[in-house]
Structure 1
Amino acid sequence: MAADDAAVAAQLADVHDALLRDAEAVGLDPAALDGALERAAATYAHRRVRRFTGVLVEREVREELGLRRVSRL
């Protein structure tokens, strides 16, 4: 379980970095991004989709904030 938790944390860190670059590119408040990321991560915290948590969280945050991908990974 600890390995799964570490993998999810790494996914979320990568997602945060990508989202932050895009948020900064369009002038979005980083606090709004962090709040959306926390809400989305909480949604998937206890589910069995750990392998895809980062993808799901990124999709949900982008949808909530209307944030398009403008940076490259």
Structure 2
Amino acid sequence: LQREKEIRSAVDELARLGDSPSLSVNEVLKIQLLKQTIVRNYDEALNIAQQTGDKDLVREYERRRDKTVRALQMMKR
């Protein structure tokens, strides 16, 4: 649950920065860091799900992580 909150928070911040027409170098770096944070949190959530042995939960987090990674790769910045 904590990972989910961290993911949502990072996604919200990423969306806010992504709406800006022009970004400073620091903001561009922050976007990269947020992307890494989102993926890392999904990886950690997936590891936790695997430890529970719940195959449905594992599949759900794999799906979410893969979908998120594809979306992040398609982002302009």
Same-fold status (TM-score > 0.5): no
| Structure ranking higher on relative contact order (CA contacts 8 Å, 6+ apart) | 1
Please give the range of the TM-score, normalised by the shorter of the 2 chains: 0.3 to 0.5
Higher helix share: 2
TM-score (norm 1): 0.40
